[in-house]
Structure 1
Amino acid sequence: MADDEGFREFVHARLARLSRVAYLLTGEHHAAEDLLQNTLVRLASKWPKVSRTGVPDAYVRKVMYHEHVSSWRRSRHLRSELTTAELPESGSGPDMAAETVRRLLLEQALAKLTRKQRAVIVLRYFEDLSEADAAEALGVSVGTVKSQTSYALGRLRELAPELHVLVKEPNGVSA
């Protein structure tokens, strides 16, 4: 690799966010680590070309989402995501119990979606991408992003009604 230092700087600056995105996509720490590692290996092999384009973030995003959505094809079977009774490590804050409950509700709800639906939800609501940018990252049409988002949100409302606690009304009060 011609630009080792540039690659290291890029990864160092974005590692925390990429790790969070990988975890949101997979719902498992080990699977997230594998997804991130595979993504970074692919980035490393293309780094000289990608770094010259000036948009390595778009390339990394596209690789990660494609890797996640198509990973079942390589393994030839779908892995089911299981929820556990163990609470994840919680951060510090005034109401750690409420934050943990919200996090568990969100993780369980995301686990109920297909890989593509989960990818669309993470792109649109965690990464705050536009429909067009999400479509580009996934290599699908804007219409597909719209329909997958709509279907995923409807599915979440149906299968995880407990998520209503995450919805804020305009006056700041939970619904």
Structure 2
Amino acid sequence: MTRPSRDEAYTAFVAARRTHLRRIAYAVCGDWHQADDLLQTALVKLYVAWPRIRRDGREEAYVRQIIVRAHIDETRRPHRRESVGLGDRDPAASTGPSYEDRSALFDALQALPLQQRKVVVLRHWLGLSVREAAAELAISEGTVKSHSSRGLAALETVLADSEPGRGTRG
């Protein structure tokens, strides 16, 4: 039995995980077009490092780390500080929770400070441990715990206020 070539193994991984990784990128940045750019950057870097990363079995963790770091790099660039585009005109995903629930959750996530958002996505959406999230974000485990706690509390408040029958009285 022959081993698949480098390109075949890489292509199989990308085909199997692309949609999931794109959603991760969207959760990090909040914009589908920027998520596509982040994912493309990550997949190019993954291809270059493929033999080493594939041997270690850390393909997805490597891509997630690149997505997070590429987003940090992009947010530091002056041209990214300007708001351009059509806002919320991106098409929604067709599976999972209802559009309204997803929209409320993503709006609440985008309202979080950037570092809290990244911690919440890594810890509670992707299920990474405190140690793994700390390593991917290059911060201490204590910082991950405090950002996670504050982020979840803020999400609970925002989402509870947006439920029908709750919130302010008019």
Superposed CA offset, 1:83-113 (max 9, x none): 95769546378xxxx8222111111111112
Task: Tell me, yes or no, if the aligned pair for 2:38 and 2:71 is still in contact at 8 Å.
Answer: yes
Larger deviation, residues 74-83 vs 31-40 = 74-83
Among the aligned pairs, what percent are the same residue? Answer: 37
Tell me, what secondary structure is at the counterpart of 2:128?
A: coil
CA distance in 1, matches of 2:32, 2:62: 23
Is residue 26 from structure 1 mapped to residue 29 from structure 2 by the alignment? yes
Larger deviation, residues 149-158 vs 72-81 = 72-81
Give the total of aligned pairs: 160
1:150 aligned residue? 149
TM-score by length of 1: 0.76
**Structure 2 gap ranges (5+):** 165-170
TM-score by length of 2: 0.78
CA distance in 1, matches of 2:88, 2:139: 37
CA distance in 2, matches of 1:40, 1:54: 16
Relative distance call for 1:139 and 1:157 in structure 2 (3 A) is same
Task: Tell me, yes or no, if the aligned pair for 1:72 and 1:78 is still in contact at 8 Å.
Answer: yes
2:140 aligned residue? 141
Larger deviation, residues 35-44 vs 2-11 = 2-11
Deviation at 1:60, TM superposition (A): 1.4
Superposed CA offset, 1:129-150 (max 9, x none): 1111111222221111111112
Deviation at 1:155, TM superposition (A): 3.2
